Amino acid sequence: MRSPESAYDRRRLRQWLAGEARAAGVSRRTMLRLLTTAGLAGSVPLPLGAPAAAGPGSAAGSAGAADAPGAADAPGIVKPLPGAWFTVRGTNAETRFASLAETGYHTPNERFFVRNHTATPVLTADDWSLTVWGDGLSHGRPVEFTLDDLKRLPAVTRSAFVECAGNGRGLFAAQQGQSVSGTAWTLGAIGAARWRGVRLADVLRRAGLGPGAVDVMPRGLDADYLTADGTNLGRVRRPLPLSKALDDVLLVHEMNGEPLPHDHGHPVRVLVPSWIGIASIKWVGDIQVSARPLYSPWNTDLYRLFGDSHPAQGSEPLTRQTIKSAWELDWDAGLRAGTEHRLTGRSWSGTGGVVRVEVSTDGGGTWRPARMHDTPRRDGWVRWSVLWRPPAPGPYTLLARATDSGGRTQPDTTVHNTQGYLFDAVVRHPVRAV
């Protein structure tokens, strides 16, 4: 069965092929790959040496990106990263899942994971503006919004998690013996917050959304991203289909009742509920509205599934998050044998609320239901608990397996992909009874 996203991708490709002639920043290589995927290579003339998508010059936000004072151990992250809460991974900070046991449903801003391609730009709300531009606007002229302009639109508050597409990536190696590229997160590249902002739909309509628009592409004000081999991919940006943009996407300026912290996109970020984290562009400075399909490295070479089990030219661009569970325990946590413990964890899914969690304390031999503490909600997680008395000292393996409202259950293994996205397998969590 084709997913709506796949149908969407094909529609975009058809629109492209229908001959809106200009290449909107698509590399020849990318175009060739897309055409090959669609079985159309050779049938369409390719624009040679197409220029990178050009923004409206300096209109892409007037805020200056000052160099962020980085924490000593994570260059570019502004907030403190105490070891009890975070594991630093390059320019990123992973939340230690065990530290969430002390928190409620929402992840405190201080403990929320940070995924930075480069460094947090320290921006000032007063200097910030958002430029909405592109040939998908009916009048074709760029429109600017200040934060005060946004705040005059109807306010929306909602809870949602933001989770990196690579969350759990380290388990491809640790649990499945497979090598993948990218940050080797365990399970803490996720946080849930209460966000406040405005509907992107309201902003787009206010900007003069035209009938021909098909894609919108928010872009961050952080620095250009250079890959390990030195290729400049430009500023972080990823197209969204207009249908999603008009559905439930927000532009948010508050996180858990506070102004959005610097590391999480101050003063304004995009929030794309239930989709992979890269869709939720931080420090958004401009949004291109296009009558043609848009491409960026973040929906072509990145954030698709590549590898032996996937189409030679990659899957469709990833959209919704997958399903996962995590124990609020350190790896190899010590638990007293012969004592009853109340163990806790969380489960979530991008395709529906989690309705059932089963746990095993004997490495998967026997299973029993966990006690659920939250109502299943789309875009949210559920907290759960289970009582367990380790019978004798020694090593044990804890497992938790979630099922969502769509009937999807975590599998035993995740199909490999070279960039380690969307790990969804039941995690084997080692503990020691002492």
Ligand X SMILES: Nc1nc2c(c(=O)[nH]1)N[C@H]1C(S)=C(S)[C@@H](COP(=O)(O)O)O[C@H]1N2
> Quick check: 187 binds Mo ion (CB under 5 A)?
no
Using rule CB under 5 A, residue 115 touches Mo ion:
yes
Could you tell me the smallest distance in angstroms from the CB atom of residue 259 to ligand X?
Answer: 14
> Is the bond preceding residue 390 a cis peptide, omega within 30 degrees?
no
Contacts with 34 (C-beta within 8 Å, 6 or more apart), sequence order: 13, 26, 300, 313
Out of 99, 107, 116, 360, the residue judged to bind ligand X by CB under 6 A = 116
Residue 222 interacts with ligand X (CB under 6 A): yes or no? yes
- 421 binds, options ligand X, Mo ion, none, Cβ within 5 to 8 A by partner type: none
Does position 164 interact with Mo ion (CB under 5 A)? The reply is yes
CA atoms within 13 A on the CB side of 342: 5
Rule CB under 6 A: say whether 264 interacts with ligand X.
yes
123 binds Mo ion (CB under 5 A): no
Q: Which is nearer to Mo ion, 55 or 277 (CB)?
A: 277
Q: For residues 92 and 414, which CB has a smaller minimum distance to ligand X in the complex?
A: 92
DSSP string, 315-340: -SPP-B--EEEEESS-TTEEE-TTS-
What is the x/- site pattern for Mo ion, positions 278-317, by CB under 5 A? x---------------------------------------
Residue of the chain from 108, 191, 277, 376 that contacts Mo ion (CB under 5 A): 277
Q: Which residues contact 28 (CB under 8 A, 6 or more apart)?
A: 46, 47, 48, 49, 50
Nearest to 116 by CA among 180, 52, 181, 183: 183
Pick the closer one to ligand X by CB: 112 or 133.
112
State how far the Cα of 193 lies from the Cα of 206, in Å rounded to an integer.
27
Residue 249 or residue 281: which is nearer to ligand X going by CB? 281
Residue 79 is a binding residue for ligand X (CB under 6 A)? no
Phi-psi region of 6 (alpha: psi -120 to 50; beta: other; left: phi over 0): alpha
HSE-CB at 335 with a 13 A cutoff on CA atoms is 28
Which positions from 269 to 298 touch ligand X by CB under 6 A, shown as an x/- string? --------xx-xxxx---------------
Q: Of 115 and 324, which has the nearer Cβ to Mo ion?
A: 115
Note whether 220 binds Mo ion by CB under 5 A: no
Query: What's the CA gap between 17 and 246, in Å, rounded?
Result: 25
Pairing of strands 240-241, 215-220: antiparallel
Task: Specify whether the CB–CB gap between 132 and 177 falls below 8 A.
Answer: no
Using CB under 6 A, list all residues that contact ligand X. Answer: 112-117, 162, 164, 220, 222, 236, 264, 277-278, 280-283
Using CB under 5 A, list all residues that contact Mo ion. Answer: 115, 164, 277-278
